[in-house]
Amino acid sequence: MAFVSQLSASTVRHLSTTSVARAGQIHEMIVIGGGLMGAGIAQVGAQTGHKVTLVDLNQEVLDRSQARIQASIQRVAKKQFQGDPSAGETFVQSALANLQIATQPHAALATADLVVEAVVENLELKRKIFQEYDAIAPAKTIFASNTSSLPIGDIATATQRLDRFGGLHFFNPVPVMKLLEVIRIPETSDATFQAMLDWGQAMKKTTVKCQDTPGFIVNRILVPTMMEAVRMVERGDASTRDVDTAMKLGAGHPMGPFELADYVGLDTVKFILDGWHAKYPDQPLFKPSDMLNQLVDSGKFGIKSGEGFYKYEKK
Ligand SMILES: CC(=O)CC(=O)SCCNC(=O)CCNC(=O)[C@H](O)C(C)(C)COP(=O)(O)OP(=O)(O)OC[C@H]1O[C@@H](n2cnc3c(N)ncnc32)[C@H](O)[C@@H]1OP(=O)(O)O
Ligand SMILES: NC(=O)C1=CN([C@@H]2O[C@H](COP(=O)(O)OP(=O)(O)OC[C@H]3O[C@@H](n4cnc5c(N)ncnc54)[C@H](O)[C@@H]3O)[C@@H](O)[C@H]2O)C=CC1
């Protein structure tokens, strides 16, 4: 990418030590990828007082994300400051003042304490981005991926900062879901891991510690469950609608598995499943599904494209 060559000879100063941003000292963050997850992570960062730069390749994506973030912050303010609209307005304005959007990370990367990557679920793309960022980020900067399913270790080896690398896995919708999975690889230093846990708390999330195993905790259980539902419908044992109704009313889930798959994005679910199937071909829980493949092949990605297992009104 162009910015590496522009910057490698530039004034970005590499620190002489490899000490990470100290625990509780993550103030400036970059979120790479302004899609569903990146926008949510940037929003929560900004509304919890961090200085955030949201980076995407595409200015149109960024403009849409900014509008979505603004609407979501207003929703949060309405809920948190019921009966005190002026305090709510101050909250909205200070959160928005903490947020910048950019198609290039240069300026923000010179001082960032943390980079959280949330681009599409593709190993080569994530490695390429981190390799480029590694060449220009200061030594103190912690790198983390929000990957749903890829091994953090396979992404981290694109960089020279394995001790300052980890996973920070959020859940959709980020402003609402309270969990943050914090993942370490064997090389992650204790200081880095602690800084990530402390940052999770500063983001007002409940953190759980995870090893770098497929799907960490939640997705290792959730994705096979979703796929069991798809296989049940493929066999003709139940309808999509009935499975969703059953899991909501019989198991107390807020969404049925098909509603949730449409909400997550069927392209993302397919990326996850295909990656695991390639790595663990004998695991029946990770077997590809014709129904899912056909939907994705025909551009039906769920809510974001207007149709998946169900149809949605375009926003
Ligand atoms: C793939 C991966 O790697 C990992 C994943 O993310 S897996 C997916 C994990 N996510 C889930 O499982 C989500 C399951 N679904 C849910 O929890 C709920 O259906 C939901 C929170 C999404 C929506 O809940 P709902 O009750 O149907 O809708 P709604 O009434 O609009 O929203 C509920 C509350 O959340 C708030 N909210 C919802 N979306 C919001 C958003 N984008 N921004 C801000 N607030 C939001 C609303 O203000 C509302 O607050 P109150 O209850 O105080 O009024
Ligand atoms: N959708 C979900 O429910 C969840 C997804 N995740 C993970 O988060 C990541 C992102 O997922 P989504 O937000 O759903 O995807 P998305 O498709 O909504 O957004 C991805 C964004 O990355 C941008 N992008 C692509 N290449 C880029 C580059 N080189 N530089 C900067 N931006 C670039 C795209 O323009 C797009 O806006 C994936 O790894 C996914 O597995 C994690 C938790 C939940």
Q: Angle, nearest 10°, between helix axes 85-97 and 59-80?
A: 150
Sorted by sequence, the CB contacts under 8 Å of residue 115 that are 6+ apart come out as 29, 30, 32, 109, 133, 137, 141, 142, 143, 144
177 lines ligand 1 (CB under 6 A): yes
Does 38 belong to an annotated binding site? yes
- Interval between CA 161 and ligand 1 midpoint (Å): 35
- At position 276, the amino acid (one-letter code) is W
Domains, the chain: 2-210 (3.40.50.720), 219-303 (1.10.1040.10)
Q: Is 85 exposed, middle or buried (0-12, 13-18, 19+ CB in 10 A)?
A: exposed
Residue 25: what pLDDT? Answer: 84
Q: Read off the pLDDT of residues 139-163 as tens digits, 9 standing for 90 and up.
A: 999 999 999 999 999 999 999 999 9
178 lines ligand 1 (CB under 6 A): no
147 lines ligand 1 (CB under 6 A): no
Q: Read off the pLDDT of residues 87-146 as tens digits, 9 standing for 90 and up.
A: 999 999 999 999 999 999 989 999 999 999 999 999 999 999 999 999 999 999 999 999
Structure tokens at 64: 């849409």
The model carries a pTM of 0.93
Query: Candidates 120, 174, 263: which one to mutate for ligand 2, based on the most atoms within 8 Å of Cβ?
Result: 120
| C-beta of residue 126 within 8 angstroms of C-beta of residue 146 | no
Pairing of strands 165-169, 179-184: antiparallel
State the closest ligand 2 atom to the C-alpha of 125, by its place in the atom list counted from 1.
29
Using the predicted structure, report yes or no on whether residue 284 has a pLDDT greater than 60: yes
Scanning the structure block, which residue is given the tokens 């595409």? 58
Q: Read off the pLDDT of residues 188-221 as tens digits, 9 standing for 90 and up.
A: 999 999 999 999 999 999 999 999 999 999 999 9
| C-beta of residue 287 within 8 angstroms of C-beta of residue 277 | yes
State the closest ligand 2 atom to the C-alpha of 39, by its place in the atom list counted from 1.
13
Does 145 belong to an annotated binding site? no
| C-beta of residue 163 within 8 angstroms of C-beta of residue 140 | no
ipTM: 0.96
State how far the Cα of 247 lies from the Cα of 12, in Å rounded to an integer.
Answer: 53
- Interval between CA 99 and ligand 2 midpoint (Å): 18
**Which residues form the catalytic set?**
148, 169, 181, 219
Q: Is 264 exposed, middle or buried (0-12, 13-18, 19+ CB in 10 A)?
A: buried
In the three-class reduction of DSSP (H, G, I as helix; E, B as strand; rest coil), residue 206 is classed as strand
Q: How far is CA 19 from the centre of its chain?
A: 26
Q: Which residues of 273-298 are buried (b: 16+ CB within 10 A; e: fewer)?
A: bbbbeeeeeeeeebeebeebeebbee
Query: Candidates 54, 119, 147, 183: which one to mutate for ligand 2, based on the most atoms within 8 Å of Cβ?
Result: 119
